[in-house]
Amino acid sequence: MSKLHPNEALKENSNFLRGTLAEEFADTSNGAISADSQQLSKFHGMYLQDDRDVRADRRKHKLDKAYSFLIRVRMPGGSVTAEQWLKMDYLSDNYANGTLKLTTRQAFQLHGVIKFNLIPTIREMHTVALDAIAACGDVNRNVMCNPNPDLSSAHAEAIKLADDISTHLLPQTGAYHDIFLEGEKVASSEPEEEKIYGKTYLPRKFKITVAVPPSNDVDIYAHCLSFIAIIEDERIIGYNVSVGGGMGMTHGAEDTFPRLADIIGFVTPDQAIDVAEKVVLVQRDFGNREDRKQSRLKYTVERMGADGFTTKLEEYLGYKLQPAREFKFTHNGDQFGWSENSNGNANLNLFIPGGRVVDTADYPMKTGLREIAKIHDGEFILSANQNLVIANISPANRKEIEALLEKYGLLKALDSSAMRLNSIACVALPTCALALTESERYLPTLITELEETLENCGLRHDAITIRMTGCPNGCGRPFISEIGFVGRSPGKYNLYLGGGFFGQRLNKLYKESIAAEEIKPTLTPIIEHYAKERNEGERFGDFVIRTGYVKATTAGNNFHAK
């Protein structure tokens, strides 16, 4: 008989995710928590980490690792008020490492929060209605959506769905309130239960997005479940549903692979939440609970087949999905610069390199955004590409905000090459425990090197998607970029080419384990070739397939085929 993964018993016996977390967070005699508590703390949005830059040195001096925690905030659609922005800015300075990280799933992360400061940080977040519940762990995570809710009524409907799904699938346990907020949740006389998840929650993390075509900025094909808005006469008449996308894999293990989601049908707006719940239930009941490397929804869909999965889903629903409708995506990057809302207000989509909001000697970005937040009466919306939209700027405020943008140089980054504007790098070193090499700290330098080639070829303004991750877990969604780098070992990367420009095709391994200094000489002739011989409108990812640099990857299960 197969054996359940130990995390299953841990969840089951944790008293709905409490375990010994309260006791361990209260013990400040050391900066860490036990291995079991590390697993449970993820459900409350936090990870134990250590500063890997100083790990070796501390080991040499027989010192403990330099422990601290990452806190990830749940914020459906990436939207926060100016007041919430200011609070996170304050917390990053006073309880974390001074930076605010905007993630690839439209969330904030604080890095470097020491154990002693965890509870005060969560309490401060709570005062502005922000929390970290279910930001990580084997549950549905932050629900993503296009970052322009007021662009049209359809956008507003889409963000409402993202919000409603997030609320519907939120764990019911009062553990977070008990541990961090002195049991502030209103006590119920009913015995505690998790109606949707049950005591063992899901086999693994679960991710949902809502997209508004033609923008695929949330990268629907990389997620467990997505709703693609089908719009007629500026209203959403329903959603195509896709299931089974995911990025993570393990080097050398060919039964792990990135996979694109399958579109399985169309549902009306009033069915969407029910469909989200039932997809979660099918995964709860049929997902693999023995091997966590095979437990994501993408492998459940792969095992059952998209048709088999749909049949099971329809059994749970008690009705059939309608055939999927026509739609078209044209890009998966952000639409930078100004846009006008239907309500007369304006939005500004800024480029935030690596999603890291920080002040440096020559670019006081964090201060600039803080000054804007002090007068802004709209929202700040994090994009799925680690960037930021200052949303809903009222005509009365626009002049003053423009002056601040100018003063703090916030618009300068928008003059970057189109490759830089279409880049994503995951966090990696020094905080990520799983990083095999650099990513966020290296990709900007690499792009500077490549920009020389782009400039010489006249391609500075041609968008090419480029993404880097420090390991194959795929947090920057590198396997659907036109040029993807995935960390292999210190200073070495696998180079993947041929992803689809709007995230519709996986890329393919072109060169294995190349050293950082080999990247420019390897890519330059290909970029030059593209500049000379591309067809009218041909994307880089399509070109490298047509001209034979790589074969097209047609499905996740042939990702590893040469």
Binding site for ligand SRM (CB under 6 A): 47, 49, 70, 72, 103-105, 107, 109, 141-142, 205, 207, 219, 222, 246-248, 296, 355, 386, 426-427, 431-434, 473-477
Round to whole Å and give the CA distance between 397 and 372: 10
Pick the catalytic residue from 204, 432, 488, 505.
Answer: 432
The smaller minimum CB distance to ligand SRM, of residues 219 and 379, is found at 219
Quick one: what does residue 355 bind among ligand SRM, ligand SF4, none, with the CB cut-off 5 to 8 Å set by partner type? ligand SRM
Contact 313, 252 (CB under 8 A): no
Quick one: what does residue 469 bind among ligand SF4, ligand SRM, none, with the CB cut-off 5 to 8 Å set by partner type? ligand SF4
Q: Looking up tokens 């996740």, which residue turns up?
A: 556
Quick one: what does residue 470 bind among ligand SF4, ligand SRM, none, with the CB cut-off 5 to 8 Å set by partner type? ligand SF4
C-beta of 250: minimal distance to ligand SRM in Å? 8
Pick the catalytic residue from 115, 426, 467, 477.
Answer: 426
432 classed as catalytic? yes
Quick one: what does residue 142 bind among ligand SRM, ligand SF4, none, with the CB cut-off 5 to 8 Å set by partner type? ligand SRM
Closest CA to 46 of 116, 102, 111: 111
- Is the alpha carbon torsion for 110, 116, 120, 122 positive or negative? positive
The smaller minimum CB distance to ligand SF4, of residues 392 and 439, is found at 439
| The two structure tokens encoding residue 466 | 């480029």
| The two structure tokens encoding residue 1 | 């008989």
The smaller minimum CB distance to ligand SRM, of residues 207 and 284, is found at 207
Radius of gyration of the chain (CA): 23
Quick one: what does residue 70 bind among ligand SF4, ligand SRM, none, with the CB cut-off 5 to 8 Å set by partner type? ligand SRM
Q: Looking up tokens 């449970």, which residue turns up?
A: 40
The smaller minimum CB distance to ligand SRM, of residues 218 and 527, is found at 218
**DSSP bridge pairs for 496:** 484, 509
- Which amino acid does the sequence have at 421? L
C-beta of 36: minimal distance to ligand SRM in Å? 16
Q: At what angle do helices 395-407 and 365-375 cross, to 10 degrees?
A: 160
Round to whole Å and give the CA distance between 24 and 115: 9
Closest CA to 155 of 388, 305, 353, 339: 339
C-beta of 483: minimal distance to ligand SF4 in Å? 16
- Interface residues toward ligand SF4, by CB under 6 A: 426-428, 432, 434-435, 439, 469-471, 473-475
Pick the catalytic residue from 11, 18, 42, 72.
Answer: 72
Quick one: what does residue 238 bind among ligand SRM, ligand SF4, none, with the CB cut-off 5 to 8 Å set by partner type? none
Tell me how far the alpha carbon of residue 525 is from its chain's centroid: 32
Quick one: what does residue 471 bind among ligand SRM, ligand SF4, none, with the CB cut-off 5 to 8 Å set by partner type? ligand SF4
Q: What are phi and psi of 480, to 5 degrees?
A: -120, 20
- Other C-beta atoms within 10 Å of 127: how many? 9
The smaller minimum CB distance to ligand SRM, of residues 105 and 508, is found at 105
Cα–Cα distances in angstroms (integers) from residue 389 to residues 102, 157, 392, in the given order = 11, 18, 9
426 classed as catalytic? yes
The smaller minimum CB distance to ligand SRM, of residues 71 and 464, is found at 71
Q: Exposure of 101 by Cβ count < 10 A (0-12 exposed, 13-18 middle, 19+ buried)? A: buried
Quick one: what does residue 422 bind among ligand SRM, ligand SF4, none, with the CB cut-off 5 to 8 Å set by partner type? none
The smaller minimum CB distance to ligand SRM, of residues 440 and 462, is found at 440
C-beta of 441: minimal distance to ligand SRM in Å? 12
Q: Are strands 225-232 and 208-211 parallel, antiparallel or unpaired?
A: parallel
C-beta of 21: minimal distance to ligand SRM in Å? 17
C-beta of 475: minimal distance to ligand SF4 in Å? 3
C-beta of 543: minimal distance to ligand SRM in Å? 26
Find all residues with CB under 8 Å of 50, minimum gap 6, and list them: 65, 66, 67, 68, 433
C-beta of 109: minimal distance to ligand SRM in Å? 5
- Other C-beta atoms within 10 Å of 93: how many? 15
Quick one: what does residue 109 bind among ligand SF4, ligand SRM, none, with the CB cut-off 5 to 8 Å set by partner type? ligand SRM
The smaller minimum CB distance to ligand SF4, of residues 45 and 269, is found at 45
Round to whole Å and give the CA distance between 206 and 164: 16
Pick the catalytic residue from 475, 505, 508, 539.
Answer: 475
Find all residues with CB under 8 Å of 30, minimum gap 6, and list them: 64, 67, 115
- Which amino acid does the sequence have at 15? N
136 classed as catalytic? no
Pick the catalytic residue from 207, 420, 488, 508.
Answer: 207
Residue showing the smallest CB distance to ligand SRM in the complex: 248
141 classed as catalytic? yes
Q: What are phi and psi of 352, to 5 degrees?
A: -120, 100
C-beta of 14: minimal distance to ligand SF4 in Å? 24
Round to whole Å and give the CA distance between 225 and 155: 19
475 classed as catalytic? yes
The smaller minimum CB distance to ligand SF4, of residues 142 and 200, is found at 142
Tally the residues of the chain: 562
| The two structure tokens encoding residue 196 | 């949707």
Catalytic residues: 72, 141, 205, 207, 426, 432, 471, 475
